[in-house]
Structure formats: structure tokens, C-alpha cells
Amino acid sequence: MHRPDMRSLTLIANHKLHGSRESLTAYIHALDAACATLSDQLQIMLAVPHVFLSHAMSARAAASRLHITSQDVSQHAHGAYTGEISSAMLAGIGVTHTLVGHSETRSRLALDDGAVARTALQAQASGVTPIVCIGENLGDYDAGNTHSVLSKQVESLREVIAAQHPCLIAYEPRWAIGSGKTPLMQEIAGAHSVIRRAIHNICDGEKLARDSAIPLLYGGSVTPANVHEILALPEVGGALIGSASLEVSSMIAMASAASALLERK
Ligand code: 13P
């Protein structure tokens, strides 16, 4: 299936707790070279551990299209929060995007939806674009509660969605992360429609342009084998990819599939 209105796609490689300075350098050089030949409408981001952010930014080619992204950021501007980094610190070294509320971060730090929203607002206030992750757990999925959980999570992001600064929303069903399982394609499409409707309800008439400007990404066991089918779904504006992004050849294969989809429009 193809969306006639498809204008751009975003692919984010989330490297989680993987890699070294050396392996990251080689990865960036290879991805940079491959990106140069792909559709201009494809945005590619790479979320690296904090300690590698500066290095990753300087390892890019001069005309690189690769956006280096943080994997998380503090909800606080400053203070006695040992081990945290602030969005102003990210902005200060030129980082433009950060993941917020990834399910692994939510679990590790016991973050609720309110804390995730505050973190996203803090990022926006520093000029850093949050990529906010939402998604149901297996119990909610099995109980048929996916849509109500997603509507509630989007509602908790009301101020983030209504803010002037951009944001992205990534739908990652918790049970699909790292499990090799994905929802059925119609379930992914249905979840994205629910998220879009919930965003639409938050945005009043004047902000409709803003509504459609919030890209929705799917994440959870995306691979070179399923990326084309997922990206072709209505409302899916990209993918957030963990394990399958670690090998650069696999990431390039997925970026090429996305580019081909864009060029066929
Ligand atoms: P996997 O692609 O390994 O399932 O991870 C998804 C994810 O958590 C991306 O942020």
C-alpha cells in the first residue's frame, strides 16, 4: 500500500547501551556515505549513549544528513541530580533531538506519564525536540485496552503537543520491544489512527497544521524484513529501531527501503 500524501519519513537507530567510540566512528562513516544517495525526504537519526554524543557529532561528514540524538534527558533544568544531563546541556553541544520516556527509561527510573511530559516540556524549552515514546504493555494489549491506554498517554502530552516547539511521538508497544514480535499491520495502523485522533482533539482549528506536523513513528522489532510494510501504513511517519539498527548494513537496508518508498510516490 502507498500513501499518496507521504512527504517524509524518519528512521531512528537507537543504539541503547551498545558500541564503542571506534565502532561508532565506523558506523557513522558507513551510514553517512549511504545516506548521501538516499531521498532528501528521509531523515535519519542515531541515538547514542550520552558519553558519545560529542564524538558522534564530530565524526559525521561535513555535509552529513545524520542527526545525532540523545537517548534521554533530565526533567530538571539544574540542581542536585547526580548522573543526569539537562536539555540545555544537550543544546549547548548542538544536539537537536532527544528520546523521552522510552519504555526502558520509564521502567528503570519509575517515570509516570506526568514525569515524561515534564521532561518533554523541559526539552522544548531548551530548543531540543523531544521524541516521546508511548505504548501499552502486554497485559493491556491482551485485555484489548491498547487504544484507551494510548489515548490517555497522548492526553498526558497535551501541553507538549500544544507547545510552539516541535515534537515527535513514537508508538512502541512494550511487548514488541526486543521480542521479535510485532502487532498485526492493521493493529499498528489502528493504533496510529487513535494517536492521530487524540492529537487532533488537542489541537484546535488554528493548530491543525501543527497537528499534521507531528510525525508518528512505530517502534518494536522493526527489521529489514518488515520495515517496508510498516512504513507503508497510513499515519506511520517513520520507525524507531533497536536491535536491527546495530549492524550498519541492516540500518542501511532499512533506510534504502524507506527511500525507495518515498521515491515511488
Ligand atoms: P527493538 O527494535 O530491538 O525491538 O527495540 C525497539 C526500541 O526499543 C527502539 O527504541
Task: Return the residue whose CA atom lies nearest to atom 2 of ligand 1.
Answer: 242
CA 219 to chain centre: 8
* pLDDT beyond 80 at 207: no
Return the amino acid letter for 38.
L
Task: Choose the catalytic residue: 102, 136, 192, 235.
Answer: 102
Choose one of 240, 246, 250, 254 to mutate for the ligand 1 pocket test, by most ligand atoms within 8 angstroms of C-beta.
240
Q: What is the pLDDT of residues 12-66, one digit of tens each?
A: 999 999 999 999 999 999 999 998 899 999 999 999 999 999 999 999 998 899 9
Give the confidence band of 4 by pLDDT, cuts at 50, 70, 90: very low
Least confident of 4-8, 25-29, 192-196: 4-8
Q: What is the pLDDT of residues 154-180, one digit of tens each?
A: 999 999 999 989 999 999 999 999 999
Q: How far is the CA of 241 from the centre of ligand 1 (A)?
A: 5
* DSSP 8-class letter at 255: H
Q: How far is the CA of 80 from the centre of ligand 1 (A)?
A: 31
For ligand 1, what atom is nearest to the CA of residue 47? Answer: 10
Q: How far is the CA of 160 from the centre of ligand 1 (A)?
A: 23
- Going along the chain from its start, the domains and CATH numbers come out as 4-247+256-263 (3.20.20.70)
Least confident of 117-121, 126-130, 133-137, 233-237: 233-237
Least confident of 1-10, 78-87, 120-129: 1-10
Residue 102 annotated among the catalytic residues of the structure: yes
Q: How far is the CA of 137 from the centre of ligand 1 (A)?
A: 14
Choose one of 72, 137, 243 to mutate for the ligand 1 pocket test, by most ligand atoms within 8 angstroms of C-beta.
243
For ligand 1, what atom is nearest to the CA of residue 104? Answer: 8
* pLDDT beyond 90 at 248: yes
Q: How far is CA 34 from CA 62, 232, 255, in A?
A: 14, 22, 9
* pLDDT beyond 60 at 209: no
Contact 190, 144 (CB under 8 A): no
Please tell me the distance from the alpha carbon of residue 123 to that of residue 232, in angstroms, as a whole number.
30
Q: How far is the CA of 118 from the centre of ligand 1 (A)?
A: 23
Give the confidence band of 208 by pLDDT, cuts at 50, 70, 90: low
Residue 187 annotated among the catalytic residues of the structure: no
The pLDDT mean for the chain works out to 94
Mean pLDDT calculated for residue range 221-249: 97
Choose one of 48, 106, 217, 241 to mutate for the ligand 1 pocket test, by most ligand atoms within 8 angstroms of C-beta.
241
HEC profile of 189-233: HHHHHHHHHHHHHHCCHHHHHHHHCCCEEEECCCCCCCHHHHHCC
- The Cβ-side half-sphere exposure at 114, using a 13 Å CA radius, reads 0
